[in-house]
Structure 1
Amino acid sequence: MSLDTIYKVTICLMYILIFIIDLQVDAVDLWISACDL
C-alpha cells in the first residue's frame, strides 16, 4: 500500500468517526468525497 492510500483510508475512517459521533449531515458529503464512494 502506498502512503497516499494509507492517508486516504485514515481520512476516510476519521470522517466515519466524526459522522458517528456528531451525526452531522455535512459530514456525509465529506465522507463520500474522502472515501471516493
Structure 2
Amino acid sequence: MNSAPSNKILLIEDEHDVVDMLTLALQKAGGFSV
C-alpha cells in the first residue's frame, strides 16, 4: 500500500498573530495540513 508523504511541523507559539501568519504560509506552500 502506497500512501502520500505527509509533512508534519509542530508549532508551539503563544502569539496568535505569528500562528496565523505561519498557518497561512504553510497552506500556501502546499503539502501541509494545518
- TM-score for the superposition, normalised by structure 2: 0.46
- TM-score, normalised to structure 1, is 0.43
Report which of the two has the higher share of helix.
1
